[in-house]
Amino acid sequence: MSRIGRKPIEIPKGVEVKVDGNTVTVKGPKGELSQEVSPDIEVKVEDGKVVLTRKKETRQARAMHGLYRSLIANMITGVTQGFEKKLEVIGVGYKAEQRGRGVLFDLGYSHKIFFIPPEGIEVVAEPITKKVFAEGTPNQYLTAVVTVKGIDKQLVGQVAAKIRELRPPDVYKSKGVRYADERVHLKAGKSGA
């Protein structure tokens, strides 16, 4: 049996889990999420816990067992605590400023980029006013911190990846947008003779 899949998921107070056929719906203080489950996996709510079992012993059913257990556990965490990812904007002249729901990025291109997050996701840009050197970078300043928040873990990660994609970190100067915990390995560059 899957080691992850067989662990029951505790349902905290204030969270309601409903199973309707192959759809699992989780409702909590921060919102509501639903997930389609494979027909090979059976989901039951018993004694304040969510228990997943396999109907078949195929290779795919074994793989899906742990996956759906993790997805449902993330849904429960999302509706109670939520998820967030932090990104850093690094480079002289690079900016990120809040404009309503969206964020206006100035990342060294000939134009500015206005990013509007999808429904259910909140993006907060905090400009850094004092000069702070970015960690692990030679002579590059941290200019803004962008926080992506939401209840859907997959959507939070996807939006954070889209923001990072606007200007990935440069491997020579380390300028660009990167995750707060990301370490960029710098290349030496050309040595002039």
Query: What pLDDT, in 10s, does the model give residues 14-69?
Result: 999 999 988 999 999 999 999 999 998 999 998 889 999 999 888 888 889 989 99
Question: Binning pLDDT at 50, 70 and 90, where does residue 171 land?
Answer: confident
Name, in order, each residue with C-beta under 8 angstroms of 29's C-beta and a sequence gap of 6 or more.
14, 79, 80
Residue 90 · residue 131 · CB < 8 Å = no
